[in-house]
Amino acid sequence: MTSLVLHDYFRSSASYRVRIALNLKGLAYERADVSLIAGDQRSDAYLEQNAQGFVPMLVADGEPIIQSLAIIDWLDRAFPEPRLIPDEAMPRAVALAQAQVVACDIHPLNNLRVLKYLTKDLGLNEQTKDRWYRHWIVEGLDALEAMAGDGTYLGRETPGIADCCLVPQIYNARRFDVPLDAYPRLVAVDAACNELEAFRKAHPDTVKGA
C-alpha cells in the first residue's frame, strides 16, 4: 500500500482540490499541517522537499510531488479508478481547460502571497485589494459558466478534475462576498458536489476542526 502524506493548509484552495481528489479516490492519507500564516512553508526543512515553498505537497512513499494539478494527474495514473481526467482526447482537453480557468487564471492572481504583495509592498488598502480579488473571480467565473455544459457536474455525470477546482473557488467567492447570481450552472454544480462525502470531508471547516 502506498504511503501518502499531504502537506497542506486547511484554507489553501490548491490543497482543498487535492483533498477532494484523494477522497474521491477513496485513499487514506496523513495530513501534515503547513501554516501559511506562520510561514511554515518557508522553513528550511520544507524547502528541501519543495523548492517553491508552496502547498500542497503530496509525499508518496517518500517521494514529494508538488503543484495541485500535477498531484491530481499522478493520482489518476497511480490509482486509475474513478478517473478524474478523461482518457479520450477531446473530453480530456475540455476537462483540463475548465480546471485551468480556475487553477491557472483565477487562483494565481488571488493567492495569499499576491495579496500580501499588493498590500505590504504596493501599499494598496484592504478595499482596493478586495476589489482586485473579486475582479479576477468574476472574470474567470464568467468564462467557466459558459463552459459548464449541462451535466450534474463539470465532469458530466461524475465529478472530475474541474469539479475539484471549482468547489474551492466557489468557497473563496463566498468568503469574499462575490455575488453568484450570474452563475446558476456553477452554483448548481457546487451544490451537487457538496452533497458528496468526498467534498464535505475536504471542506476547510471540516479539516480545521478535525
**Whole-angstrom Cα distance, residue 191 to residue 45?**
39
**Whole-angstrom Cα distance, residue 162 to residue 53?**
24
CATH of domain 4-82+201-209: 3.40.30.10
Q: What is the pLDDT of residue 155?
A: 83
pTM over 0.85, yes/no: yes
List the domain boundaries for the chain: 4-82+201-209, 89-199
Q: What is the pLDDT of residue 118?
A: 96
By C-alpha distance, which of 29, 16, 113, 35 is closest to 46? 35
Polymer length of the chain = 210
Give yes or no for a contact between 76 and 83, defined as CB atoms under 8 angstroms apart.
yes
Q: Strand, helix or coil at 102?
A: helix
Q: What is the pLDDT of residue 202?
A: 98
Question: What is the chain's pLDDT, residue by residue, as a tens digit (210 residues)?
Answer: 899 999 999 999 999 999 999 999 999 999 999 999 999 999 999 999 999 999 999 999 999 999 999 999 999 999 999 999 999 999 999 999 999 999 999 999 999 889 999 999 999 999 999 999 999 999 999 999 999 999 999 988 999 999 999 999 999 999 999 999 999 999 999 999 999 999 999 999 999 876
CATH number 3.40.50.720 is the correct assignment for the domain at 89-199: no
**Whole-angstrom Cα distance, residue 61 to residue 56?**
16
**Whole-angstrom Cα distance, residue 56 to residue 65?**
9
Maximum separation of any 2 CA atoms in the chain, in Å = 50
Which 8-state DSSP code applies to residue 105?
I
Q: What is the pLDDT of residue 82?
A: 97
